Amino acid sequence: MSEEIEKVKCLIIGSGPAGYTAAIYASRANMHPVMYQGLQPGGQLTTTNEVENFPGYPQGITGPEMMIELQQQAERFGTDVRGGWITKVDFTGPVHKVWVDGEKEIHADSVIIATGASAKYLGIESEQKYLKNGGGVSACAVCDGFFYRGQEVVIVGAGDSACEEASYLSNICTKVTMLVRREQFRASDIMEKRVKGIENITIMYNTEIDEVMGDGQVVQQVRTKNNKTGETTEIPCTGVFIAIGHKPNTDVFKDWLDLDETGYIINKPGTSKTNIEGVFVSGDAADHVYRQAVTAAGTGCMAALDAERYLAAKGIH
């Protein structure tokens, strides 16, 4: 151990809308929260250019700006925001043990998990380029589809989420081309039938993106490849939506917390409570349905209130 063990009343792991909202509530309740921001300070929103659907921002705001403001708000009430990520936990006893960066040991009376989930991407160079530029690649149709209204877009994926996002985009875009890697969908029958019945959705099977193409700033088309015939096709579009799933950032908790088959933390219905007393979950680490900043913030509030009541019941002041 490189340092002495630090004892804290409330430890928040993760720094997206869920973590910062939990921090605001916990700070105002005199829980003196300590937050570790994790590998991606600010969470997924830091990769989002424009946020227009979060209440209270009538002109919209960029994702990074919004996270800076949330951090400032949490710090204003006394949250101790720190860099670093949690590499190990031990939830065997009433005091929750956590290690930061493999070295520093912290003993926490309560823990709020807000580690979020990471969107899966194709990993091709041109996709990552336009994703970083904010010029046409997204992993959230509900978040970013509005910017492509009246335009032609491509969506990659074959599961229920991909079908839902394709349906959503079909209402605001003139044409949606859906690329399915195999010969059939992975989605449920009802979702598959729904997208097949929508007039402005075109489905291409056995098809993958070979390259995302544009002028260097914005997407103009994609080159696709049929993985059976090798034939390539160029499809004009201004937006590319990747809907091949998310991976919750919960690996460090898998030996202690109940997770579903995909790795999302299972909370007790209607609460933020996990199977371990004094450990609470908020945001996308437990939510594979909505995955919005505003719902994450709501569960961050729930987690802080649940943690406050837990500490009060334990007589920890």
Distances in whole angstroms, Cα of residue 169 to Cα of each of 77, 177, 198, 225, 263: 40, 10, 11, 23, 28
The pLDDT of residue 49: 67
Neighbours of 171 (CB within 10 A): 11
Active site residues per annotation: 140, 143-144
| Cα distance between residue 51 and residue 81, in whole Å | 23
Domains and CATH numbers, the chain: 6-118+247-313 (3.50.50.60), 121-242 (3.50.50.60)
Residue 176: exposure state from Cβ atoms within 10 A (0-12, 13-18, ≥19): buried
Sign for the pseudo-dihedral over CA of 10, 47, 211, 207: positive
Distances in whole angstroms, Cα of residue 51 to Cα of each of 67, 173, 263: 11, 19, 27
Of 265, 239, 219, the residue nearest 140 (C-alpha): 239
Tell me: the pLDDT tens digits for 190-241?
999 999 999 999 999 999 999 999 998 999 999 999 999 999 999 999 999 9
What are the backbone angles phi and psi of residue 22, rounded to the nearest 5°?
Answer: -60, -40
Q: State the residue for tokens 């719902």.
A: 295
* Residue numbers of the chain with a pLDDT score lower than 70: 1-3, 47-49
Q: Which amino acid is at 310?
A: Y
The pLDDT of residue 79: 98
| Cα distance between residue 218 and residue 91, in whole Å | 47
Of 206, 215, 202, 212, the residue nearest 183 (C-alpha): 206
Q: Are strands 6-13 and 34-36 parallel, antiparallel or unpaired?
A: parallel
Asked if 166 contacts 148 with a C-beta cutoff of 8 angstroms, the reply is: no
Residue by residue, DSSP assigns the chain as --SPPEEEEEEEE--SHHHHHHHHHHHHTT---EEE--SSTTGGGGG-S-B-SSTT-TT-B-HHHHHHHHHHHHHHTT-EEE---EEEEE-SSSSEEEEETTTEEEEEEEEEE---EEE-----HHHHHHHHHTSSEES-HHHHGGGGTTSEEEEE--SHHHHHHHHHHHTTSSEEEEE-SSSS--S-HHHHHHHHT-TTEEEESSEEEEEEEESSSSEEEEEEEETTT--EEEEE-SEEEE-S-EEES-GGGTTTS-B-TTSPBPPPTTS-B-SSTTEEE-GGGT-SS---HHHHHHHHHHHHHHHHHHHHHTT--
Sign for the pseudo-dihedral over CA of 86, 37, 134, 56: positive
Helix 160-170 to helix 189-196 angle, to the nearest 10 degrees? 30
The pLDDT of residue 101: 92
Tokens of 306: 């649940």
The pLDDT of residue 38: 86
The pLDDT of residue 51: 85
The pLDDT of residue 1: 44
The pLDDT of residue 225: 97
